[in-house]
Amino acid sequence: MAPRGKDLSTDKKQTIVSMYRNGFSGRKIAEIIGISPNTVQKVMKRNKLRKGFRREQRKIGRRRLVSERGNRLLERLVKKNRRQTLSDLTSSLNESLPQQVSCRTVRQRLKEQCYHRYCVSKKITISKNNRQSRISWCRT
């Protein structure tokens, strides 16, 4: 293993964090302080993990149509009647929401809330004669 360098002082670490918060790039901070850009990146990464420091990040992707409030409403509707079909759930949800959502959106939200669809297997009925013969076989 290669020998490690000296640890940074807390003053330098605080300087790196404050410069980063003020908008300096990692490379620029490294040039000013006179250390490696990798060291600056490690300090910023550790600071993010331990103290919750985060630069404002752009949100990626499309905004969701169903908010957290809509998710809770959907969960209440499902708990009220578990046998309700997906199209019925969607129509009752659309009555309460300001924006219309599709069946596919409702299905995705239900899947996130751990409500999965399933088919109940049909119970096979046994005839009266077969039932009696099984009971007599068990008793012998």
C-alpha span between 6 and 68 (Å, rounded): 48
Q: Which residue has the tokens 């490294």?
A: 30
Q: What is the pLDDT of residue 2?
A: 44
Q: What is the pLDDT of residue 51?
A: 44
**Is this structure's pTM higher than 0.75?**
no
- What is the band of 42 on the pLDDT scale with cuts at 50, 70, 90? confident
Res. 123: pLDDT tops 60: yes
Query: Which residue, among 94, 129, 126, 95, has the nearest Cα to 109 in the 3D structure?
Result: 94
Q: What is the pLDDT of residue 57?
A: 60
Alpha carbon separation from 108 to 23, 90, 100, 104 (Å, rounded): 39, 12, 15, 6
C-alpha span between 78 and 61 (Å, rounded): 28
